[in-house]
Chain A
C-alpha cells in the first residue's frame, strides 16, 4: 500500500496502541503532555505519559449540583466528560505575577516575572473546550494588543482534541454549535473507535507529528462508524439550551424579568460557575509589596462577577445583590458577549450546572425567562 500523502483536513486511522508513539513524538518535540486523569474521584487535567494514564473504562454521571465518576470497565479511553477543571488554567492561570516594581532612589524599575513554563500539549480537549479556548483567544489576543502571559502560553501549545461520543447529563454543546465534533482550531483531532483512533490533521504541526506514525488511510467503514457515533451523541445531550439568534436581544430586553428574583433566592453567590467556566475571563489585579516597601509584585488572579467587590466604586456598589450579579453573569455569557466578542460566551460544557451547589441550571433559567417574557 502506498504511503498516504498527508494533508491538512485529511483523516487517517491509527491503531490504539500507537497512540503512545504519538505522545512520545510530542515529548520529543519538547512538549509536556497533559490530559485527563482520575484524581480524587473526579477527572482533572495533569501530566500524562501515555494511554495508561488516561481514564480508561470511566464515565461520569452529571446533573444539577451532582458529579459521580463511574467505572464501567469498558475499553475506551475518552468516554468520560470533563470534571470541574478546564484548560483555561494553562493559558490564563488562576494566579500570575505580571511584574515586579523595585525602588531605585525616587524611581521605580519594572521587571517582568519570567514565565518559566513548558510548552504544553493538551491531550483530549473536548470540542466544547476547544471552542472555549478560541473564545478566550478573542478576549486575550486582540488586534490592538495582546496579553503577554496568555500569548506566550497559548502560542507554544499543541492541541489534540477528541470528538465527544458520550456526552453526559449536563452537556448541551449541540445547542451551542460547539460540538460534539470539532471542526477547526486543533492541531490534531481524534475520534475514538473500538480498535482505532481516527486522526484528523488540523495544522502543519499536526501534520509533522503524524508523519512519523504508523497511520493508515481511514476506511469508509471507520468514517461511517465515527459519524454515526457523533450523530448519536447529538441525540444523547443531557440538556438543551433554547438558543437562537434572537436570544441575546431577548435577554437584554428582559433585564427586569421577575424570574431574576426567583434565581436569586437559590443562588448563593459562591462563584463556582465562574471558576469552572472555560470562558469566564474576569480578573482582579493587586499589589503584593515587600515588607520594607522596596519592591512590589503586581499580581493577577481570577475574579468573579459574583464577588461583592467586583462592582465596587468609591461611593457604593453598582451591583449590590445576588439578583443583579446572577443577571450580569447570565446576560454577559449569553448576550453581551456577542456584542463584545462576536460570539456567545457559552460553549454548552455544562460545568456551571454540575458544579453549582444549588443545582441552578442555565438552560432551565433561560427557558423560564422565555416562558413568560416581559418584552
Chain B
C-alpha cells in the first residue's frame, strides 16, 4: 500500500534491536484532557528521510530513566518529515513523557507489528469502529483513505468518547467528511451543549446498514467495545477474515522475544497488534488467556 519511495530505513538496528534511535520533539499538540500528540523528527537525517511505517504499526518510545512504552503511530504514513504519536498519560513512562517540552529528545524503536488490511480492503467498503484512545492507531489509515479515496468503496468512521471534551482530533472531522469519509461521533455522556449523538460506540454500529460480503470492519479501543462490535459484525454475516481488531498487551521488546504480550499462540507485538478475527476466534472467548 505505502510504496517505498526511498530505501526503507527502520529505527530498529538488526544487530542491536533494543537500541533506541533519538528523535526530537518538534511540536506537542493537546488533544483532550490527559492526551496529546507528540510530533517527532529523527536526529539521524537518513532515518528522518527513510523511516517508513504502515497504518496501524507502533513504535517503542524510550525515556531514559523511566523506560519504554509501546505507542501507536498516529500520523500520515506518507508524511516523511514528522512522525506523530498520540499519547495518553497513563503509566509511569507516559506520565513522564508529559513533562517533556518541544526540543527535548526521546528514544524511538520501530516500526513494529502488523497493519490494517488496506491492500485486501481495496475496492471494498470499510467501517471503522473505534473509541477513546483507539482512534490514534486508525488515523494513519484515515489519512491514507483521504489521499486515495478512489481505491475504496464506502468508508465510514464510527467514533466514540466518554464525553464531548474527550474527543480527539476534533478539528479534522470536517476534512475527513470532505474527503468522503462518513464520520459519525457519539459520546457516552452528553452535556447540554452537545448536539451530537449520545450512546456507546456499538450503537452506531448497530444502526449501520452494510453489505457484509464487501465490507471490512476495523476496530480498535477498549476490548469490551471491540467485543460488541465484532459480535454484531459476525451477526450481520461479515466474514471473520474481514473483521480486524487491534489488541493491547504488556510489551517490552516489540520483537516477539520478551514474552509478555502473548495471547494464545501469538505475540501481540509481532503477530499483532492487528489481527483478523479469524485468527483470534479460537481464543477470543477464553477468559484470562
Q: Please tell me if A283 contacts chain B, counting CB pairs below 8 Å.
A: yes
Q: Return the chain B residue nearest A140 by Cβ.
A: B257
Q: Return the chain B residue nearest A99 by Cβ.
A: B19
**Quick one: CB contact mask for B53-83 with A, threshold 8 Å, 1 for yes?**
0000000000011111000000000000000
| Interface pair B265/A339, CB less than 8 Å apart | yes
Q: Return the chain A residue nearest B258 by Cβ.
A: A283
Q: Please tell me if A311 contacts chain B, counting CB pairs below 8 Å.
A: yes
Q: Do most interface residues of chain A lie in helix, strand or loop, or is the interface mixed? A: mixed
Interface segment among A12-20, A66-74, A312-320: the answer is A312-320
CA distance A160 to B66 in the complex (A): 42
B12-26, CB < 8 A from A: 12, 14-20, 22
Q: Please tell me if B105 contacts chain A, counting CB pairs below 8 Å.
A: yes
A343 to chain B, nearest CB (A): 13
CA distance A319 to B263 in the complex (A): 10
- Given the known interface contacts A252-B282, A314-B90, the answer about A336 and B14 at a Cβ–Cβ threshold of 8 Å is no
Please indicate the chain B residues that have their CB under 8 angstroms from the CB of A340 in the complex: 256, 265, 267
Interface segment among B115-123, B155-163, B244-252: the answer is B244-252
Q: Please tell me if A106 contacts chain B, counting CB pairs below 8 Å.
A: yes
Please indicate the chain A residues that have their CB under 8 angstroms from the CB of B258 in the complex: 282-285, 303
Q: Please tell me if A293 contacts chain B, counting CB pairs below 8 Å.
A: yes
A210 to chain B, nearest CB (A): 33
| Interface pair B264/A147, CB less than 8 Å apart | no
Q: Return the chain B residue nearest A336 by Cβ.
A: B265
CA distance A256 to B282 in the complex (A): 12
**Quick one: CB contact mask for A145-181 with B, threshold 8 Å, 1 for yes?**
1111001000000000000000000000000000000
B285 to chain A, nearest CB (A): 9
B81-112, CB < 8 A from A: 90-91, 103-105, 107
A151 to chain B, nearest CB (A): 8
Please indicate the chain B residues that have their CB under 8 angstroms from the CB of A332 in the complex: 259, 262
Give the interface residue-count category, chain B. 35 or more
CA distance A4 to B63 in the complex (A): 61
B86 to chain A, nearest CB (A): 15
Q: Please tell me if A241 contacts chain B, counting CB pairs below 8 Å.
A: no
- Given the known interface contacts A252-B282, A311-B250, A314-B91, the answer about A328 and B262 at a Cβ–Cβ threshold of 8 Å is yes
Pick the contact of B286: A139, A256, A284 (CB < 8 A). Answer: A256
Q: Please tell me if A227 contacts chain B, counting CB pairs below 8 Å.
A: no
CA distance A285 to B283 in the complex (A): 28
Please indicate the chain A residues that have their CB under 8 angstroms from the CB of B288 in the complex: 318-321, 323-324
A251-303, CB < 8 A from B: 252-253, 255-256, 281-287, 289, 293, 296, 298, 300, 303
Q: Please tell me if B43 contacts chain A, counting CB pairs below 8 Å.
A: yes
Interface segment among A34-42, A107-115, A186-194: the answer is A107-115
Q: Please tell me if A98 contacts chain B, counting CB pairs below 8 Å.
A: yes
CA distance A255 to B252 in the complex (A): 26
**Quick one: CB contact mask for A119-145 with B, threshold 8 Å, 1 for yes?**
000000000000000000001101011
**Quick one: CB contact mask for B271-288 with A, threshold 8 Å, 1 for yes?**
000000000001100111
Q: Please tell me if A347 contacts chain B, counting CB pairs below 8 Å.
A: no
Q: Return the chain B residue nearest A98 by Cβ.
A: B18
| Interface pair B256/A145, CB less than 8 Å apart | no
Please indicate the chain B residues that have their CB under 8 angstroms from the CB of A98 in the complex: 18-19
Please indicate the chain A residues that have their CB under 8 angstroms from the CB of B104 in the complex: 106
Q: Please tell me if A305 contacts chain B, counting CB pairs below 8 Å.
A: yes
B258 to chain A, nearest CB (A): 5
CA distance A323 to B286 in the complex (A): 12
CA distance A252 to B286 in the complex (A): 10
| Interface pair B250/A310, CB less than 8 Å apart | yes
CA distance A145 to B13 in the complex (A): 8
* Other contacts beyond A99-B19, A147-B17, A311-B260: 13, CB < 8 A: A108-B22, A145-B12, A145-B15, A151-B15, A253-B282, A281-B259, A283-B252, A284-B258, A287-B65, A313-B249, A320-B288, A336-B265, A339-B265
Across chains A and B, which 8 residue pairs bring their CB atoms closest together, nearest first?
A: A282-B259, A339-B265, A324-B288, A289-B65, A101-B64, A336-B265, A296-B64, A145-B14
Q: Show the binding face of A for B, using Cβ within 8 Å.
A: 98-99, 101, 103, 106-108, 110, 112, 139-140, 142, 144-148, 151, 252-253, 255-256, 281-287, 289, 293, 296, 298, 300, 303, 305, 310-315, 318-321, 323-324, 327-328, 332, 335-336, 338-340
Q: Show the binding face of B for A, using Cβ within 8 Å.
A: 12, 14-20, 22, 43, 64-68, 90-91, 103-105, 107, 248-250, 252-253, 255-260, 262-267, 282-283, 286-289
